Amino acid sequence: MGYAQLVIGPAGSGKSTYCSSLYEHCETIGRTMHVVNLDPAAEIFNYPVAMDIRELISLEDVMEDLKLGPNGALMYCMEYLEDSLHDWVDEELENYRDDDYLIFDCPGQIELFTHVPVLKNFVEHLKQKNFNVCVVYLLDSQLLESGASHIASRVKQKDGSSICKTKQSLD
């Protein structure tokens, strides 16, 4: 059995920082883990990238070819990842042994959770591949200071997503 941790939360909440800290910690205590980049918009990494969605699809290419903005293109990339579960994802996962620990550094756009079942299906796929999966949700602690600011941050993000096109309608 493999082990997987999906790191999710709004953009800027510290997901990539958490992944690199965890990587450093494991290195210090002599344990092996691998960090997977699932954010097609990420450019700078403070950890060695084990698997990288940017090898599958490029955000810039999608923006250019389909004339989409960064958020729409990201949605397209993630749906493309979903379509590639049985080829690219499986091929990449072959590189890891049964007892390996993978950390997935995910994009922060809330649309990925409210509009499309991409990450849900990704988790299901990992489970089928015999991975024991958990999810870590990060949120800026300032948003917890009051109930109103917490809810407002979520509503604002959800509102902005209502005009997103699906990959199916674009293909």
Ligand X SMILES: Nc1nc2c(ncn2[C@@H]2O[C@H](COP(=O)(O)OP(=O)(O)O)[C@@H](O)[C@H]2O)c(=O)[nH]1
**Which is nearer to ligand X, 56 or 139 (by Cβ)?**
139
How far is the CA of 124 from the CAs of 14, 73, 85, 133, in angstroms? Answer: 25, 24, 11, 9
Q: Is 109 in the site for ligand X (CB under 6 A)?
A: no
Q: What are phi and psi of 113, to 5 degrees?
A: -105, -25
Are 70 and 161 in contact by the 8 Å Cβ rule? The answer is no
Nearest to 7 by CA among 133, 114, 137: 137
If one asks whether residue 13 binds Mg ion (CB under 5 A), the answer comes out as no
Contact between 16 and ligand X (CB under 6 A)?
yes
Stretch that binds ligand X, among 13-21, 127-135, 143-151, 157-165 (CB under 6 A): 13-21
Q: Is 37 in the site for Mg ion (CB under 5 A)?
A: no
Q: Which residue is nearest to Mg ion (CB)?
A: 16
Query: Does the protein bind ligand X through residue 167 (CB under 6 A)?
Result: no
